Amino acid sequence: MMDALSVVSQLRDLASEPQNRAVIVQDQGCLPGLVLFLDHQSPEVLLATLQTLRYLAELSPNVPTMKNELGMMVSLETLIGREGLSLDITSLAQEVFNILNAPPVPVPCSPEREKRKKSQFFLNSSNKKAKSVTLQIQGLDSTDQRSLCEQALLTVRGVISFTFQMASKRCTVRIRADLPTESLATAIAATKVLSAQQVVRNEAGQEVFIPLNPSGVKVQQNSSLPDYLPEEEESPVREVDRAISRTTAKEDSSGSWLNSAASFLTRTFYW
């Protein structure tokens, strides 16, 4: 039988896919189970739970539902004040709490301005699709290095969004479909203190690392940094080797994989 870490890790993998986030939050068993996991004694379970919540909160319509979930905000506050936890856990708990507690930000964006912003961010206006890449970043040891990495990624034209997992020194980056992954490595290597490898799964489902050689070609940069594009406006695609996050739930029209995972979570939570 799967243990708590296996269960929440599976849900985190599902939540890493943008198209799964609304379904997970709407499911009757997932959010209550995640709230229960926020009280778990295992640091690994706590971190995986917070990473899952952070993914889910990236979809703006999820935020009110998550905030209003019974026990969510109280559990996060308790976790923030809990002694003996790593900085990664308390910092991520605070980050999730702040996102859920922030007042809604109005987006007074006219269609004309939105069109102009998109055309600036995408070199080719017909290029509507994006892909997700998971990077293992050597040297990502502190918030200072994280800031360096953020600044490096923000300068690359074609980067849509990114999420850090500091405990595992990883960053999941959503990029335009035609942007070479090596461009990310080039930008990160330019910091002089960080380097990146791509994390993928092989046919056996095992994680493997692919070296990314910084290309000699100059990385195309944003002249001015645009706002991140909304997740729902992009359709994630995968390279042949696929990034670490899973796509089965998207490919299965019945959503059976996500449904079975949610059902298993519900059964596990109420033992």
Helices (DSSP H) in 82-180: which residue ranges? Answer: 87-101, 111-121, 143-154
**Degrees (nearest 5) of the Cα angle 135, 41, 47?**
15
Would you state the pLDDT for residue 114?
52
Local confidence band at 246 (pLDDT 50, 70, 90 cut-offs): very low
Q: Is the pLDDT of residue 14 over 80?
A: yes
Most confident of 37-46, 130-139, 146-155, 233-242: 37-46
Give the mean pLDDT of the chain: 75
Would you state the pLDDT for residue 76?
95
Q: Name the class of domain 124-237.
A: alpha beta
Q: Is the pLDDT of residue 225 over 50?
A: no
Local confidence band at 73 (pLDDT 50, 70, 90 cut-offs): very high
Write out the residue limits of the CATH 1.25.40 domain(s) in the chain. 4-105+253-269
Q: Report which of residues 153 and 107 the model is more confident about.
A: 153
Q: pTM score, two decimals? A: 0.46
Model confidence pLDDT, tens digit, residues 129-153 = 678 888 999 999 888 888 899 888 8
Q: Is the pLDDT of residue 253 over 70?
A: no
Q: Is the pLDDT of residue 125 over 50?
A: no
Tokens of 25: 């939050």
* DSSP conformation class of 126: T
Would you state the pLDDT for residue 106?
62
Write out the residue limits of the CATH 3.30.70.100 domain(s) in the chain. 124-237
Q: Is the pLDDT of residue 85 over 80?
A: yes
The mean-pLDDT minimum among 26-40, 147-161, 219-233 falls in 219-233
Q: Is the pLDDT of residue 78 over 50?
A: yes
Local confidence band at 113 (pLDDT 50, 70, 90 cut-offs): low
Would you state the pLDDT for residue 268?
53
CA-CA distance, 69 to 57, in Å (whole number)?
13
Pick the CATH number of 4-105+253-269 from 1.10.3470, 1.20.59, 1.25.40, 1.10.287: 1.25.40
Helices (DSSP H) in 38-142: which residue ranges? Answer: 43-57, 62-68, 72-81, 87-101, 111-121
